[in-house]
Amino acid sequence: MTVIIADIRAAINIPETSELSDVAITSAITRAGTYLTVLEAQYSAPTEYFPPCELAYAVYLAYQTYADRVLNAPPGSYQEGQWSPIAEEIVRETNSKLQGLRTVYKDYEKIIKSFPVKRMGRLMASSSPARALKFGIGQHDFH
């Protein structure tokens, strides 16, 4: 499963790019994907557990970006020095929704982390860091 911008917009119910840009959502998707790649390398959870966790994390990160910049500005204008509201003020309380999205993501993460840690290959042991780097790189000798 590949997370796309439309998935994020649908999950957080912010269809307007003026409220949350595609660039911000793409950044959240990239960050979530990177983190899930690390989790997948570390834990032996079945592969089907990772896509929903990645989506949940991307949704959380995107909404966090939105919550950081949301403006609670009443619609209206000044006329002759007087404020004239044109509609009832919309106040966006983002904290509880953000915490709920974090809880969902953390629940997925706990499931993945409940599986055994994968056994990682042994790194080259050497008494000399320069020697380990030289041999770790392969045929290229940068020393």
Structure tokens at 104: 């969902």
How is the chain split into domains, by residue range? 5-137
- For 122, the enclosing helix (H) or strand (E) is none
Structure tokens at 2: 């590949």
Task: Name the pTM for this structure.
Answer: 0.70
pLDDT in tens, 22-76: 999 999 999 999 999 999 999 999 999 999 999 999 999 999 998 887 655 566 6
The distance of Cα 100 from the centroid of its chain, to the nearest Å, equals: 15
Q: Could you give the CA distance from residue 44 to residue 1 in angstroms, rounded to a whole number?
A: 18
Using CA atoms of 95, 100, 102, 106 in order, give the dihedral in degrees to the nearest 10. Answer: 160
pLDDT in tens, 81-98: 777 766 665 566 788 899
